[in-house]
Structure 1
Amino acid sequence: MVRHYLVSGRVQGVGFRWFVHREAAELGLDGWVRNLQTGEVECVAAGSEAKLEELEAALRKGSRGSRVDRLQIHDLVEAEGEKLGPFQIEGAW
């Protein structure tokens, strides 16, 4: 399965991307996470439904110092997952 996540709230400047990276990597998911100019964090992850549900629970909880007000989830076509490699943070360097 491949899912797109859009996280709103206090999710920039609080280590949220690093938190998502750690959670997703521990779950063995492929994909990426990045900040958006709108102040939201965007994420695409590919893996089993069970592993994605674990990631979603972590996204809803958020990192220490963050506040998640809204989590939007969209299923993507499986072909989107073929382009993804090991989970990474985009725009972090």
Structure 2
Amino acid sequence: MQGEQRAVRARISGMVQGVSYRVWARREAERLGVTGWVRNEPDGSVTALIAGTETAVDAMIDRLWQGPRGALVSAVETEEVAEDAPADFSIVA
């Protein structure tokens, strides 16, 4: 990957659990070439770490708003982080 690298932590709220959001997010991340992880939170939200080129991370954030069929995303809050991402994109507990 070329270009400026960045890492973002995103908190996705709405109807995002029980709709395969994490599986969908992993598939989208792999398509875009970003790394990181995604997990369900006890409050019903989903958190993701997304790392890659500026363009790929921005594209993934845009896709987080869509989600899979059945999801109803009400908010995507992001913050830049100085965190090392894994070499791939995984679903974590």
When normalised by structure 2's length, the TM-score is 0.90
Which letter maps to 1:34? Answer: R
Q: 2:23 aligns with which of 18, 21, 26?
A: 18
Indicate yes or no: 2:41 matched with 1:39: no
Q: 1:29 aligns with which of 34, 40, 43?
A: 34
CA RMSD of aligned residues (A): 0.9
Percent of counterpart pairs with the same letter?
34
Q: May I ask how many residue pairs the two structures share in their alignment?
A: 88
Indicate yes or no: 2:62 matched with 1:52: no
Q: Which has the larger strand fraction?
A: 2
Structure 2 partner of 1:66: 71
Where do 5+ consecutive residues of structure 2 fail to align? 1-5
When normalised by structure 1's length, the TM-score is 0.90
Query: Which stretches of structure 1, 4 residues or more, deviate above 4 A after TM superposition?
Result: none
